Structure 1
Amino acid sequence: MGDQPTAVASLIGGLNQGLRAQTLRGATGTGKTFTMANVIEQYQRPTLILAPNRTLAAQLAQEFREFFPKNEVEYFVSYYDYYQPEAYVPRTDTYIAKDADINEEIDKMRHAAT
C-alpha cells in the first residue's frame, strides 16, 4: 500500500481546504492512478484528469472505466491530427503560418460531448 493512504488523506484535506490545484507526483508504477481513483471515490465530485499525451490519456480512461464501472468516463483528445502554431524565427526573419489538419471522427466526438 505504501504512501497511498497518506497521499489520499493529504489530497482530500487540500480539497476540503478549498485548494483549487494540487499535484500528485510519483515514479511509474507507484499507484498514482489508484490513488487518484480513491480520491475521486471519497470526494464524490465530477473530475477532470489531464494527461500529457494520447497514449497515457487512453490508458487512464480505460483504468478509470474499470475503477468506476457505473460512472461515465469520457475520453477526449485534441481533434487535430496535425497542428503547427504560427511562429516567427527572428534569426532568418521567417514567418510560419498556422496550419492544422482536423480529425473529423474525433471532432464529431468533441461536439457530442459539449
Structure 2
Amino acid sequence: MLPHLGAENFMGRGGSLVSAESTKHLQMAEDCLGRVDVVRALHHLTKARLDKNNIDADLLMAANFTLTKQQGLKDMEVAEKKGREILKRHSVRPALKMGT
C-alpha cells in the first residue's frame, strides 16, 4: 500500500475512520515486517487491530501470519465483508448498492 499517494494522503486511512493510534501501530508493523522483525510486527499489528475500522491491519495479518494459504484467503474474505459493512454504515450515498 502507498498511503502517501491518493485519497489516503489527505483523508487518512479508511477515510479518516481509523484512529491515529491504530494507524501509527499499523505503520510500525509494516516497518518491522520490512526489517523481518516479525515478533515486533505482530505486537504492533495486534494493537492496530483493536480499531475495528482498520481493515488494512486485518489484511496484513491475513497475508503474513496465517498458517495455511486457505486460512489466509478465508481471513481476507472476512476482512472484505467487514469492509463492505463499514462502507454501508458510513456511505455518503446509501442508495448505492455495494458489491453487487
The answer to whether the superposition gives a TM-score over 0.5 is no
TM bracket, shorter-chain basis: 0.3 to 0.5
Larger Rg: 1
Q: Which has the higher contact order (CA 8 A, sep 6+)?
A: 2
Which structure: greater helix fraction? 2
TM-score normalised by length of structure 1: 0.31
Which structure: greater strand fraction? 1
